[in-house]
Structure 1
Amino acid sequence: MSGVKHMKWWGWGVEGVGFHHEDKPAFGPFVAEKVGLDITGDPVVPPELESLPVPVPKLTDAFLGQLTELLGEEHVHTETLDRIVHTYGKSLRDLVRLRRAIIPRIPDAVLYPADEDQVRAIVDLAVAEDVVIIPFGGGTNISGSLEPPPDEARPVLSVDLGRLNKVLDIDAESGLARIQAGTLGPDLEEQLGARGWTMGHFPDSFTHSTLGGWVATRSSGMQSDKYGDIADMTRGLRVVVPGDVLVIRPLPSTATGPSVREMILGSEGRLGVITEVTVQVHRVPEERIILGYLFPSWESGMAAMQDIASSDAAPTITRVSDARESAFSFATGKHKPGFNLSGKIQKGLMTVLEKRGWDLEKVCLSFIGFEGAKSHVAYERKLVKTIVGQHGGIVVGTGPGRLYDQKKFDTPYLRDFLLDRGAGGDVSETAAPWSRLMEVYDNTVAAANRAFDQIGVRGWIMCHLSHSYHSGACLYFTFAFPLDDVDPLVGYDVVKSAIQQSFVDHGGTLSHHHAVGTEHARWMPEDISAPGVAMIDGLFSTVDPGRNLNPGKVTGH
């Protein structure tokens, strides 16, 4: 066997780990009130793997023999489990289709190359034999970037980079690290941390996603305010293209024509298979702290984030939730003392705020993180505290921040929990200028609520500002509603489309960090204009005239 571990095929994460409501006394009543869902019943059991309609691989014995000779028998897999794991990502649409055995096309084999030479041989063989290859990292994508085209008649190979999982070298003088593209987030940070370094990139999918996947989808992390997103961190690349290897040297800056590095970022496997990335790394900071804050309203919290972004402070995290998401966060508090819904500290604080004239229905929870030398952290904390105070906010200490840090990668498990009980939960995110951010927010919430009414359900949408920039910020929306028993994706399409259309209608982008794939492709002309789409299509067709490299992603062509 190849020794590469994957998430469970029917949901997020690994077997035995999931969201539990028994220790969260306010969660059940909250869900019942907001979406009309009783979570106390028995969950739906996912189908047995053996019940799925998995066709025989479309591979000739001769071609399979070539692959086996190239990689070794233990690294060419045609078993049902491997093929199912590599069919979809982890979006709500993906999981619904898997659970309902809607699998129009599945990879015919999963390949596990050991190094770049084997990746080159796979790509060249695929082009020569007119076969489709789809690069695979951790399988966390939620935009349809991994699925084979449903009508693809040619053989389809999933190329899993999981064996390319090492930090190869660190240039300490330059703060650069050469890392293989299949390295998972935890393994990457463990290898860097053993030598005193960190990359500082922590997306929600961190525990199950890879460096190559981050680059291919233009990922952002929770600490992008300080460290930048993956486009800022990526300095050098090695990408296997048909007949050759594209090499981008790790230079600090360059003016050598249009950026080929930028062309690879977000290309979702359509320009080649990323095998190695050189990224900026930083020394592990002397101090790291995340503080919780409360604001009297969403508007005051947003204004504070804008002022922090334009100040001399440079926090690692600037996050503020609207009142809806704050209420949800309080409802997920565990039954124990401390800052949670049932804790005496929180209850006492809320009483004090109410006496000060705060409307507790509008309270917004915020997390702001700081890293660096102790003197630097102290300076930034003082500066931020002043700005927060100017907008009526208060500091509530390290307790909420520690809880956020402990649970920051757990949110995707909630989607499985809801799906097991007949409800859908999903996310959409955007970025817009500060001047239009509230317009995007107000109209998107209204559009989602109209969509809920249209399909006749009680739904819930909430939002947080997750990343701040000089000119604007990212808004991250989460929505949930009961799914139709007959065809759950019909209602989902209505809600998801309403949200995405609101983004582009009101000055936002269709995706800030979840890529395009097939899920968002139809909005690309509205996001980058028709000539922009034509330019990207021209690039794809030049590099890959036979459409062997993950066809149909990004532009839908």
Structure 2
Amino acid sequence: MTGVQHQKWWGWGVEGITFTHEDKPKLAPFVMEKVGIDLNAPGTPPPAFEDLKVPASLLDGDLASVLRAAVGDAYVGTDDMDRVVHTYGKGLVDLVRVRASDLPRVPDAIVYPADEDQVRQVVDAVVAADGVLIPFGGGSNISGSLTPPVDEKRVVVSLDLGRLNRVLEVDEAAGLARVQAGVLGPDLEDQLNSRGWTTGHQPDSFRHSTLGGWVATRSSGMQSDKYGDISDITRGMRVVLPGKVIALRPLPSTSSGPSVREMILGSEGRLGVITEVWVNVHRLPKNREIVAYLFPTWAAGLAAMHAITESDASPTVTRVSDANETAFSLSMQKPSKGLAAKAGPILFNVLERRGWDLNAACLSYIGYEGDDDHLKYEKSIVGKIVRKHGGIKLGKGPGALYDQKKFDTPYIRDFLLDIGALGDVSETAAPWSKLMDLYANTVRAATDAFAELGVMGFVMCHLSHSYHSGACLYFTFAFPPSSDVAAEQIEQYWVVKRAIQQSFVDNDATISHHHGVGTDHAHWLEDDISSAGTEVMAGLLRAVDPGRNLNPGTLLPAHREW
């Protein structure tokens, strides 16, 4: 036993936790109306692991001996379960393929180093053998960054960093912590919180993703409005390359040429294996609140979020859902009792009398942290902005419920797969001046794709991660494919996914705000950073890794690989 815990081989999270609609009476009618699926019909659970056809490992005896000498016999795995767990991330295509026993190329060995020295030995050994090395954190990636190329004939080693999971030191005067890259989000925060500190970084994948993974994919968290994205939080790092280590000190700022730190951020394992990261940390706040608001329209909600960024308020979270996502959220509610059961209908009746179209209403969550006076000051500023844009305050109750459930959403995708539906996400960012057109055109592109396929589909969106010049728009889409054949389902999925991603490009938005490039988004890379920019990236990767030993196939579109 390695002591490293992994997610389910067939889905999100851990065994024993699943999504159910049975305690949400409004959800089944909602899903039937929007995508025509009966949630009460028998579903199709994932297959038994014993039914999968797992290719044999190609690990040869010489390399196996070197790896075992480096990390110990117990920490080189070749059993089928371990290899399948490390084959895919948790993207929609990943889950469809693994459920269908579509395993054309599986890592040949999983190696669990205990420290940087062992990482160096493993990297050197794999490259010396002309093998392929794929770093692995929590396995939560949804953009195709973890899967070996199908046609890869060389031995493939997955380097699992799960044993590198400690906070090594805290520089209290500087507000910095030195942390091993394999630490999962909850373990990182537990160790920091016990000393009175926090990073404030909370991506949706928080429970099942690692610090190194956040850095390697340029992650963002729901509290990034205050704490920054991981690119802001990361100040220094150590990165293992064949025969050497990049060591970047945790400097507050520097003018020493093009930033190597920036090059490694988002590099997805192609520029080496991240072993340690220096991160900004902050004292735990006295208070933390998420307050819910309701806006009459999506346009009003976006305008309010923009106004908040221009104000003196600095909330931790600024999120607003469009009408479709608001309707979905309301359908997910459990039955209320007593006064709470009456309050909702009364409020909606009042709003209707005021002229609100409740089908256009948009739910918002805004987060605050600090001492009592600071919260009072910030909520006063935000409250005035909300009222100016026609919104109302719903209070801390709905906000607290959102805060409790925010990490559980990915379980819904497994539930959808069980009942025969495909659900996935695409996120982007654009300037404030372009958000409304980006939103309208992307919703139209997804709707047209559903029509092209002849299926009932549903698309919804929320704004999150507000910045000075713009914001992130996060789209979720779902539809029942017209086939139960995995390859045909994936083909239909890509009709919708391509339409959404192309809309991002056509509307001057980025191809990904925080999920990374991987293989799923590489097709649009040149549109995102220009042909010349892609040449610069290809040149960098070629110079660092001329043998294409470090996670080849990610980041660059296929025709740019050398």
Residue 388 of structure 1 aligns to a residue whose secondary structure is helix
Residue 41 of structure 2 aligns to a residue whose secondary structure is coil
Asked whether the 8 Å contact 1:167–1:188 carries over to 2, the reply is yes
Asked whether the 8 Å contact 1:339–1:400 carries over to 2, the reply is no
Instruction: Report the AA paired with residue 491 of structure 2.
Output: V
**1:92-111, aligned counterparts within 5 Å?**
92-111=92-111
Instruction: Report the AA paired with residue 502 of structure 2.
Output: Q
Residue 410 of structure 2 is aligned to residue 412 of structure 1? yes
Structure 2: distance between partners of 1:63 and 1:174: 43
Aligned CA distance change for structure 1 residues 65 and 140 (closer, same or farther; 3 Å): same
Structure 2: distance between partners of 1:509 and 1:80: 38
**1:466-481, aligned counterparts within 5 Å?**
466-481=464-479
Residue 57 of structure 2 is aligned to residue 46 of structure 1? no
Asked whether the 8 Å contact 1:337–1:345 carries over to 2, the reply is no
Residue 312 of structure 2 aligns to a residue whose secondary structure is coil
**1:508-519, aligned counterparts within 5 Å?**
508-519=509-520
Moved over 6 A (4+): none
Instruction: Report the AA paired with residue 537 of structure 1.
Output: A
Residue 534 of structure 2 is aligned to residue 533 of structure 1? yes
Normalising by structure 1, we get a TM-score of 0.99
Displacement of 1:262: 0.1
Equivalence for 1:441: 439
Equivalence for 1:254: 254
Displacement of 1:517: 0.2
1:317-373 superposed Cα distances (whole Å, 9 cap, x missing partner): 000000000000000000123898xx3211111111011110011010000000012
**1:61-210, aligned counterparts within 5 Å?**
61-210=61-210
Residue 374 of structure 2 is aligned to residue 376 of structure 1? yes
Aligned CA distance change for structure 1 residues 443 and 147 (closer, same or farther; 3 Å): same
Asked whether the 8 Å contact 1:339–1:346 carries over to 2, the reply is no
Structure 2: distance between partners of 1:437 and 1:352: 31
Equivalence for 1:12: 12
Equivalence for 2:295: 295
Aligned CA distance change for structure 1 residues 246 and 437 (closer, same or farther; 3 Å): same
Structure 2: distance between partners of 1:106 and 1:169: 37
Structure 2: distance between partners of 1:438 and 1:547: 41
Equivalence for 1:393: 391
Displacement of 1:59: 1.4
Structure 1: distance between partners of 2:536 and 2:338: 55
Structure 2: distance between partners of 1:485 and 1:451: 19
Aligned CA distance change for structure 1 residues 466 and 251 (closer, same or farther; 3 Å): same
Equivalence for 2:269: 269
Normalising by structure 2, we get a TM-score of 0.98
Aligned CA distance change for structure 1 residues 204 and 339 (closer, same or farther; 3 Å): farther
Instruction: Report the AA paired with residue 485 of structure 1.
Output: D
Asked whether the 8 Å contact 1:169–1:178 carries over to 2, the reply is yes
Structure 2: distance between partners of 1:335 and 1:417: 21
Instruction: Report the AA paired with residue 377 of structure 1.
Output: L
Structure 2: distance between partners of 1:14 and 1:338: 35
CA RMSD of superposed structures (Å)? 0.9
Unmatched 5+ residue regions in structure 1?
Answer: none
Asked whether the 8 Å contact 2:63–2:126 carries over to 1, the reply is no
Structure 2: distance between partners of 1:199 and 1:345: 37
**1:414-493, aligned counterparts within 5 Å?**
414-483=412-481, 484-486=483-485, 487-493=488-494
Displacement of 1:87: 0.2
Structure 1: distance between partners of 2:10 and 2:60: 29
Residue 500 of structure 2 is aligned to residue 502 of structure 1? no
Structure 2: distance between partners of 1:172 and 1:339: 47
1:510-530 superposed Cα distances (whole Å, 9 cap, x missing partner): 000000000000100101000
Structure 2: distance between partners of 1:554 and 1:284: 36
Instruction: Report the AA paired with residue 344 of structure 1.
Output: K
Aligned CA distance change for structure 1 residues 127 and 307 (closer, same or farther; 3 Å): same
Instruction: Report the AA paired with residue 468 of structure 1.
Output: S
Displacement of 1:62: 2.1
Displacement of 1:395: 0.5
Structure 1: distance between partners of 2:213 and 2:506: 29
Structure 2: distance between partners of 1:549 and 1:440: 35
Asked whether the 8 Å contact 1:114–1:163 carries over to 2, the reply is yes
Instruction: Report the AA paired with residue 550 of structure 1.
Output: N
Asked whether the 8 Å contact 2:318–2:365 carries over to 1, the reply is yes
Structure 2: distance between partners of 1:120 and 1:32: 54
Residue 352 of structure 2 aligns to a residue whose secondary structure is helix
Structure 1: distance between partners of 2:492 and 2:550: 32
Equivalence for 2:23: 23
Structure 2: distance between partners of 1:500 and 1:551: 23
Instruction: Report the AA paired with residue 510 of structure 1.
Output: I
Asked whether the 8 Å contact 1:338–1:346 carries over to 2, the reply is no
Aligned CA distance change for structure 1 residues 55 and 338 (closer, same or farther; 3 Å): farther
Residue 238 of structure 2 aligns to a residue whose secondary structure is strand
Equivalence for 1:213: 213
Equivalence for 1:403: 401
Asked whether the 8 Å contact 2:55–2:104 carries over to 1, the reply is no
Structure 2: distance between partners of 1:12 and 1:447: 28
Instruction: Report the AA paired with residue 520 of structure 1.
Output: H
